[in-house]
Amino acid sequence: MMDGLNAHPHVRWNPLTATWVQVSPQRTERPWQGAVEAAVAEEVPSHDPACYLCPGVRRANGETNPRYDSTFVFDNDFPALRASTPAAEYGDDPLLLARTEPGVCRVICFTPRHDLTMSRLDVPALGRVVDTWAEQTTALGRLPHVWYVQIFENRGAQMGASNPHPHCQVWAPASVPNEPAREQASLLAYKAAGHACLLCDYLARETRTNERLVAANDAFAAIVPFWAIWPFELLVIPKRHVQALDALRDDERRALADILKRVTTRYDNLFETPFPYSMGFHQRPSDGGPHDEWHLHTHFYPPLLRSATVRKFMVGYELLGTPQRDITPEDAAARLRAVREEHYRDRPDLAATRR
């Protein structure tokens, strides 16, 4: 049905966010004279006394981190949301609407090791990170003013991470943020049209063709979505119709750790560099409803385009018109499938065969 699609500039539909993406495969050959990223320093110590996330170090607010040996969660010292914010609505003019937004912001350190990344943590350690994400989903979701638990990781300076220490953030606001709210509307509309689940059905389509599948295990599949915007974007979908991180069974949590390690290793191996990205989970709101329309998933949005030094920017037509990509999702999936799942830093002897 899709034969010949990539021979022409075309648009693809994103059924999750109900938006289009422009795909222009013929542009991949254009010369690049734009910005070039600085190389990333790879030699990082396993403990850095100047790092505010390392065990035993004093943070900016004067508190000292415990000598933790697994994950470590603390309230963000510079939170974007505060639990103490009083509820208030402003303005009866529909063109000038505002309201206060109470909430909680936390930081989760994945490990005491300053030098590791998701790709280089072992699966049991990453499993403890998954457990912590699930615990935070439950604990924050229970707070009366919290309606959504948004977990995300900014990895690498290019994506705005403030520190190489492996960590993520949790923002738990009093309303559902834009992106999951859009997805929720699409998931609900799909169900209302008489289907079971948009992502269950999408996963079934992708498993039939395998064109965009990058990795899979018993419980999860990682796919470059048909409608991807970012060059090597990934969508990690649980095979079971499950609504949230805290609803995952133990075996599924281990499987999530396994697939996250495998896809982030593929990322790092692609250009043999620590691969920057923003990643995060979309799950049901924490308003107490069953939300059977929801299907938990993980988005990876990495900016690197054709090498460690050339990245994609969202500018011009993308900001003012429609997001656009040059390399096709099918190409990106093939390139991610072609690299190893053994981290390049663990196998210097393979250097010659990796390219």
- CB nearer to ligand H2U: pick between 106 and 254: 106
- CB nearer to ligand H2U: pick between 132 and 154: 154
The interface partner of residue 51, options being ligand H2U, Zn ion, none and the CB cut-off 5 to 8 Å by kind, is Zn ion
325, two tokens: 């990509």
Q: For the purposes of burial, counting CB atoms within 10 Å of the CB of 135, is it exposed (0-12), middle (13-18) or buried (19 or more)?
A: middle
- CB nearer to Zn ion: pick between 118 and 270: 118
- CB nearer to ligand H2U: pick between 109 and 219: 109
The interface partner of residue 54, options being Zn ion, ligand H2U, none and the CB cut-off 5 to 8 Å by kind, is Zn ion
| Bridge-based pairing state of the strands 72-75 and 103-109 | antiparallel
42, two tokens: 């790879």
The interface partner of residue 78, options being Zn ion, ligand H2U, none and the CB cut-off 5 to 8 Å by kind, is ligand H2U
Binding string, residues 63-82; x marks residues near ligand H2U by CB under 6 A: -------------xxx----
Question: Is residue 57 close enough to count as binding ligand H2U by CB under 6 A?
Answer: no
- CB nearer to ligand H2U: pick between 60 and 352: 60
- Whole-Å CA distances, 325 to 141, 154, 299, 338: 36, 22, 17, 21
- CB nearer to ligand H2U: pick between 132 and 169: 169
d(CA 35, CA 306): 13
Question: Is residue 56 close enough to count as binding ligand H2U by CB under 6 A?
Answer: no
Active site residues: 167
How many chain residues touch ligand H2U (CB under 6 A)?
Answer: 12
Q: Among residues 169, 265, 298, 328, which is the contact residue for ligand H2U, using CB under 6 A? A: 169
Which residues make beta-bridge pairs with 282?
297
Question: Is residue 48 close enough to count as binding ligand H2U by CB under 6 A?
Answer: no
Question: Is residue 163 close enough to count as binding ligand H2U by CB under 6 A?
Answer: yes
Question: Is residue 50 close enough to count as binding ligand H2U by CB under 6 A?
Answer: no
Q: Among residues 162, 207, 210, 307, which is the contact residue for ligand H2U, using CB under 6 A? A: 162
Q: How far is the CB of 103 from ligand H2U (least distance, A)?
A: 13
Q: Among residues 1, 7, 60, 193, which is the contact residue for ligand H2U, using CB under 6 A? A: 60
d(CA 77, CA 185): 34
Q: How far is the CB of 51 from Zn ion (least distance, A)?
A: 3
User: Which residues lie near Zn ion (CB under 5 A)?
Assistant: 48, 51, 53-54, 114, 165
d(CA 176, CA 184): 9
Q: For the purposes of burial, counting CB atoms within 10 Å of the CB of 199, is it exposed (0-12), middle (13-18) or buried (19 or more)?
A: buried
Would you tell me which residues interact with ligand H2U (CB under 6 A)?
Answer: 52, 59-60, 76-78, 107, 154, 161-163, 169
